[in-house]
Amino acid sequence: AQKVTQAQTEISVVEKEDVTLDCVYETRDTTYYLFWYKQPPSGELVFLIRRNSFDEQNEISGRYSWNFQKSTSSFNFTITASQVVDSAVYFCALSEDNNNDMRFGAGTRLTVKP
Amino acid sequence: GAGVSQSPRYKVAKRGQDVALRCDPISGHVSLFWYQQALGQGPEFLTYFQNEAQLDKSGLPSDRFFAERPEGSVSTLKIQRTQQEDSAVYLCASSSSGQWASIYGYTFGSGTRLTVV
């Protein structure tokens, strides 16, 4: 069965610090898809990134970067030079092929203080 | 519409009351999902529609939960005889992808926060 673990419940940093949010997943499938979503106080889940299990290349988008390592079943998310607007709950999620159910982790609440 | 719209934004129900939560997906989106998010937890899958067909309802926690999408656009999630454990945020999401849309990611609405007192 698929499972996503986000061990960090809450993280607090000061603006301009770098911060890494951890995500570890479990799946028996060889084909699967990993996601990160941001949930600001307004409540909607904002899509950040999608990776498939065959593409282990790390990705950078502005201040955001993602490190996908199949060997450790991890898909970690780093925010460089954090800003107050980055404060939100961040969710890692996993979808398996031929499955309608996207499985979310419990989320990490990030607070960036000025 | 431009995004996924959910109403009401907040709902307080007395225990035993029936409630109906509405979701307006992005126009033309084939797939529609309902998720339940308890306080401090990640969203959990409830059900999935492809057009008007409910293809997966494996996540519905009991027979008090019922969802429909009769014309393949707007969807309603109904909870009968609400109980305190039903208190949660109910999120709707839609996708232009058809089958196995979950592998592509979806657009979520802001949710309906249900509080059962």
Instruction: Please tell me the distance from the alpha carbon of residue B51 to that of residue B98, in angstroms, as a whole number.
Output: 9
pLDDT above 80 (res B104): no
Tell me what pLDDT residue A44 has.
Answer: 86
Condensed to tens digits (0 to 9), the pLDDT of residues A19-40 reads 999 999 999 999 999 999 999 9
Residue type, B24: D
The arithmetic mean of pLDDT across residues A55-67, rounded, is 89
Indicate yes or no: CB of A100 within 8 angstroms of CB of B102: yes
Measured between alpha carbons, how far is B39 from B89 in angstroms, rounded to an integer?
A: 8
Hey, are the CB atoms on A33 and B103 less than 8 Å from each other?
Answer: yes
Closest CA to B69 of B106, B36, B102, B22: B22
Pairing of the two strands A64-69 and A74-79: antiparallel
The distance of B30 to chain A (nearest Cα, Å) reads 13
* CB within 8 Å: A101 and B58: yes
- For residue A105, the chain B residues in CB contact (below 8 A) are 42
Whether A10 contacts chain B with CB within 8 A: no
Q: Which of A33, A45, A99 lies at the smallest CB-CB distance from B108?
A: A45
For residue range B72-90, list pLDDT tens digits in order.
999 999 999 999 999 999 9
Residue B82 token pair: 């609400």
Q: What's the DSSP call for residue A44?
A: P
